Amino acid sequence: MNGFINKQSLNNLSKKYAITLDEQALERFDIYAWKLVSWNKKVNLTSIIEPEDIVVKHFVDSLTVFHALNIPKGSKVIDVGTGAGFPGLAMLIARPDLNLTLLDSTGKKLNVIADILTNIGLEAQLLHARAEVAATKEEYREQFDFVTARAVANLRELSEYCLPFIKEGGFFISMKASKAKEEIDGARKAIKILGGEIFSIKSFELEGAGERNIIITRKISQTSTKYPRPSAKIAKNPLI
């Protein structure tokens, strides 16, 4: 179906965050939105199903990653807990040069993403795994330039899932709505133990959708092989 979303609106809003989308990207977002809503009848993907809400709260929200940080051409990126592809798949549509891995513990969601990728003609690696398990494997550990995560866990827990994937000098990009300051305060110690340091926090209002905070952590040294621990341990014995 063509013309499901208002492409002009997506284009204009993206420009406000200095993100340029070409006609092919706008076309791909249109297919993505339509497929998302169609699949959502069978697989529980999102409560956001109105076309303009999808544009703002999923697409533009995901694309603000590029507003917060420069991501060089060809960077190796993993989106942890990608769900229906946010922010990772939206980033790939805007920047098909990225070498992207989409990770989620729910196979059904990755099957939907596989179908969307086929329909929009783009490629990404799909990884069906729990983050804390994949991050212990040599092929994924300290292999990525950037890790992204939106709405997956609190920053302290999330840091233990995400920091082990990043190469030294790489970045962990965590997307939060409100209460970011409290989360950062609660996660500082864990981030340090895991080999990271808070690099920057970009706070802004997303067009009519409320407060957003993009917390960027830089990996400054290798993560000890003690981490990540199994999820039950992460929850029971937080790094504080």
Q: Which of 106, 111, 136, 154 binds ligand SAM (CB under 6 A)?
A: 106
Alpha helix ranges (H) inside the chain: 7-16, 23-39, 51-53, 61-63, 65-68, 88-94, 107-120, 131-134, 155-162, 180-193, 231-236
Binding residues for ligand SAM restricted to 187-206, rule: CB under 6 A: none
Q: What is the Cα 138 distance to its own chain's centre?
A: 22
Cβ contact 57:9 at 8 Å: no
For residues 220 to 239, the per-residue mask of contacts with ligand SAM, x marking binding by CB under 6 A and - elsewhere, is -----------x--------
CB neighbourhood size of 151 (10 A):
12
For residues 161 to 190, the per-residue mask of contacts with ligand SAM, x marking binding by CB under 6 A and - elsewhere, is x-----------------------------
By CB under 6 A, which span of 23-31, 70-78, 136-144, 145-153 interacts with ligand SAM? 145-153
CA gap 231, 68 in Å, rounded: 29
Contact between 93 and ligand SAM by CB under 6 A: the answer reads no
Cβ contact 124:97 at 8 Å: no
Q: Which of 40, 99, 105, 136 binds ligand SAM (CB under 6 A)?
A: 105
Cβ contact 187:169 at 8 Å: no
Q: Which of 7, 109, 176, 212 binds ligand SAM (CB under 6 A)?
A: 109
CB neighbourhood size of 18 (10 A):
10
By CB under 6 A, which span of 18-26, 66-74, 92-100, 103-111 interacts with ligand SAM? 103-111
Q: Which of 83, 164, 195, 196 binds ligand SAM (CB under 6 A)?
A: 83
CA-closest candidate to residue 149, choices 99, 91, 108, 96? 91
Q: Which is nearer to ligand SAM, 83 or 195 (CB)?
A: 83
Cβ contact 177:204 at 8 Å: no
Contact between 81 and ligand SAM by CB under 6 A: the answer reads yes
Q: Which of 32, 94, 104, 120 binds ligand SAM (CB under 6 A)?
A: 104
In the complex, the smallest distance separating the C-beta of residue 116 from ligand SAM, rounded to whole angstroms, is 14
Provide the binding-site residues for ligand SAM, judged by CB under 6 A: 81-84, 86, 103-106, 109, 130-132, 150-152, 161, 231
